[in-house]
A and B are shown apart, each in its own frame.
Chain A
Amino acid sequence: MALVDYLPFVVMLVLAAGFVAVSLVASRFARPSNPTPEKLAPYECGITSEVEPTQRFPVKFYLVAMLFVIFDVEIVFLFAWASIFNELAWYGIAAAGIFTLFVLETLVYVWKRGALDWNVKTRSRYAREHFRIEEAA
């Protein structure tokens, strides 16, 4: 691939940047500008919080993000495998299959441990059934 072949990417980039710039500038001219302190406040109604909350997100989200990273890395390896899938045939399927199975075991783990259960009720039922103290993500 020569440098010229990346031209579509560049065009895409220019289009994206251009869209942002054009829409920002256009809206600037199109909208009425009449700011008041109330409008500029983050929340127009309700009580403004005085301190930042100690925890903005439940840790559950972080666990999902971690799962995402791990499987993302796995996909990268599979990408390399896919490019020579035909050549390697069964050997490749075996090698990549073992790899995938190991990584998939994390999914089994997370599932069984209840980290994917979003509903607190099912989680407490789960704990009752299994008598686990360490559950509760």
Chain B
Amino acid sequence: MTVDAWIAEPVNWVFSIVAVVILFTAVRVVTSPNVVHAALYLVAALAGSAVMFLLLSAEFVALVLVLVYIGAVLVLFLFGIMITRAPTGFDEGLSNDRKLVSAAISLVLLGVLSWASLSAFGTDTVNTVGSPTATEILGDAILGRFVIPFEVVSFILLSALIGGITVARRDLTPLEEEERKAV
């Protein structure tokens, strides 16, 4: 593809801008010394990913990212931060001495994955914007061929919630327990 052709395609512009935003916010998620800021940067990174999925004409996945991740999981994150003793302000302890090693490993992994992905999918073209994967096709697959995993997912949700509630609940102290028994 020539440079002119690249410039002429608006998708490429959107991609470049969003990619830069995702890169910046993703790095800030791990480097930010403030947990709440990190969570908010994560919102931005996820929103960027949702746009990426839109560009790949995967509307449903983009919607799931917004609805579940930005809408629900992030709320849970913030609640978690609020409930625990973690300071919401600046916190020295958020990064540790091994950050250089971690960064090096991440970069190597990034290199290997990019190389392998480029070699495998570098010349492929996906459906351009304009032919989105219809939600109907997905619905058909989920309720047809994959109906067993679909029903099993409900058990995963069920057990996650019930286990989570059991673990999160406050147990009574032995004293309170005695009181309860006495009533």
Contact = CB atoms under 8 A, between A and B. Distances in A.
Interface of A: 1-3, 6, 52, 54-59, 61-63, 65-70, 72-77, 79-84, 87-88, 91-92, 95-96, 98-100, 102-103, 105-106, 109-110, 113, 115, 127-128, 131-134, 136-137
B165 A66 contact: yes
A66 B161 CA distance: 7
A3 B130 contact: yes
A20 B48 CA distance: 20
Contacts of B79: 57, 61-62, 65
Contacts of B168: 59, 62-63, 66
B154 interface: yes
B62 to A, nearest CB: 10
A95 B83 contact: no
Interface string B52-85: 0010010110011001100111011001101101
B86 to A, nearest CB: 10
Interface string B126-141: 0001101011101110
A85 to B, nearest CB: 9
B104 interface: no
Nearest to A96: B143
B180 interface: yes
B75 A88 contact: no
Given A73-B68, A84-B143, A1 B132 contact: yes
A80 B165 CA distance: 28
A105 B161 CA distance: 10
A71 B2 CA distance: 48
Contacts of B157: 70, 73-74, 102-103, 106
B33 to A, nearest CB: 16
A133 B161 contact: no
Chain B binding surface SS class:
helix
B135 A80 contact: yes
B72 A59 contact: no
Contacts of B139: 80-84
B140 A84 contact: yes
Given A128-B180, A133-B172, 20 more contacts: A55-B85, A56-B83, A57-B83, A63-B165, A66-B165, A68-B72, A70-B160, A73-B72, A77-B150, A81-B139, A84-B140, A99-B153, A102-B157, A106-B162, A110-B161, A132-B180, A133-B177, A133-B181, A134-B171, A136-B169
A58 B142 CA distance: 38
Contacts of B63: 76, 79
A76 B165 contact: no
B151 A65 contact: no
A137 B169 contact: yes
B67 A54 contact: no
A49 to B, nearest CB: 13
Contacts of A134: 169, 171-172
Contact of B83 (A6, A55, A103, A110): A55
28 contacts: A57-B79, A61-B83, A63-B169, A65-B79, A66-B165, A68-B76, A69-B68, A69-B75, A69-B76, A73-B72, A77-B142, A80-B135, A80-B139, A81-B142, A83-B134, A83-B138, A84-B140, A91-B143, A92-B143, A99-B150, A102-B154, A102-B158, A103-B154, A106-B158, A106-B161, A128-B183, A133-B180, A134-B172
